[in-house]
Amino acid sequence: MIVTAGFLPKPGLSTNERQPLSPSGLCEGNSNTESVVRHDLQNLIVARYLRIIPLDWSEEGRIGLRFEIYGCPYWADVINFDGQGVISYRFKMKKMKILKDVIALKFKTSESEGVILHGEGQQGDYITLELRRGRLLLQINLGSNQYGSILGHTSVTSGSLLDDHHWHSVVIERYRRNVNFTLDQHTQHFRTNGEFDHLDLDYELTFGGMPYSGKPVSGARRNFKGCMESINYNGENITDLARRKKLDTSSFRNLTFSCVDTHTFPVFFNGTSFLQLPGRRDHNMVSVGFQFRTWNPSGLLLFSSLADGMLELALNDGKVTVHINVTQQKNMRVDIASGELTFFPHTGLMAVTWRSHKVSSASF
Ligand SMILES: [Ca+2]
């Protein structure tokens, strides 16, 4: 509910949600300074930002607007995946021959790798949705023939930097070979390779990892670690079924239905912004550690004045440079390069400790 007060005949509201907030998309405003106008939104929306665009102001009086936004209880089925546990959704029939799929879920993770869902059949069909290097990878095979003339393997990626600990939504809609693969409202349409229309799966579909075989597998894919919300598979509410203990979740060491927030939060720098922290006067030691990721090969990572000089950490042509200038001594310059840095985006863990005129540790 949005409540406005003040002289504002017709404020308009914009939202990324597809459904309009009101049939006209507008909320009628106020006709005087005192009374309160309430707008109940027609549909529940989940939003981080809400933009109110005033379209018109009253000709009487002065421009003014006060508003309040009231939330309502939001119930979502959330499962915390610990990187070990896998939810197994067993089919009612041993073998499933599926012409149409609708799979929807939301995920939030800090890990760049992990299997979100997987199903396979003895005929060689499979569907796997996983995070790989922070991107979403959907692999699907509706069937190949034994002579190799029909190859059904189809692979599509979407998004990037999805290990940002924010919620992302995925919807996979398939009818025969036609697939709509939607990530955060961006839809890719593709047709699967081969000539077959049915996804033939045996026994089960697993969420959060591959089915547990009992045998150690070399090069096994990593299980998903993070949270998933509102998992829906062909009309079945998987999260709710798991909460009501209708699904096999025995592989979890600790199954929880809430999303535990990590204590680290990424900070975004736009090239002109910076974060300034108070220093400690008359200390001759600096110790700093952080992880960073950037698409830019060059940029200043950190600068600090020292009691007798300055410390600078920078990216120069994809290499990390530590530059320490001590007034009483000659300039000291330490270059640290890593093969990792030749890939974009750069990711790295940086830890530098400086103590009284010498670098005691610098690692990457
Ligand atoms: Ca098939």
- Please report which residue ranges of 201-322 form alpha helices under DSSP H: 238-243
Range with the largest mean pLDDT of 2-11, 182-191, 265-274, 352-361:
182-191
CA distance 154 to 70: 46
- Across the chain, what does the average pLDDT equal? 80
CA distance 30 to 21: 18
309, two tokens: 């000089």
Centre of ligand 1 to C-alpha 218, Å, is 27
Question: What one-character DSSP code corresponds to residue 21?
Answer: S
Phi, psi of 39 (to 5 degrees): -125, 110
CA distance 120 to 353: 50
Minimum mean pLDDT range among 25-29, 186-190, 256-260:
25-29
Centre of ligand 1 to C-alpha 87, Å, is 24
Centre of ligand 1 to C-alpha 258, Å, is 37
From 206, 208, 170, select the one nearest 81 (Cα to Cα): 208
Q: Are 35 and 5 in contact (CB under 8 A)?
A: yes
What is the reported pTM? 0.64
Which residues are in the CB-under-5-Å shell of ion ligand 1?
125, 142-143, 196, 198, 200
CA distance 224 to 85: 9
- Please report which residue ranges of 27-88 form alpha helices under DSSP H: none
Domains of the chain are: 1-74 (2.60.120.260), 78-243 (2.60.120.200), 285-363 (2.60.120.200)
Centre of ligand 1 to C-alpha 196, Å, is 6
Rg (CA), the chain: 27
CA distance 171 to 342: 34
- Kindly list the strands in the beta sheet with 126-132, ordered across the sheet, starting from the edge strand earlier in the chain: 87-98, 199-207, 114-120, 126-132, 135-141, 154-158
Give pLDDT, residue 253: 85
Q: Are 232 and 117 in contact (CB under 8 A)?
A: no
Residue 102's Cβ-count burial label (10 Å; 0-12, 13-18, 19+) is middle
Centre of ligand 1 to C-alpha 113, Å, is 27
137, two tokens: 């990878």
pLDDT band of 306, cuts 50, 70, 90: confident
pLDDT tens profile 24-71? 667 777 777 778 888 887 666 777 788 877 777 777 766 777 888 888
Other beta carbons within 10 angstroms of residue 261's beta carbon come to 10
pLDDT tens profile 119-175? 999 989 999 999 999 999 999 999 988 887 889 999 999 999 899 888 999 999 999
Centre of ligand 1 to C-alpha 6, Å, is 62
360, two tokens: 């005691």
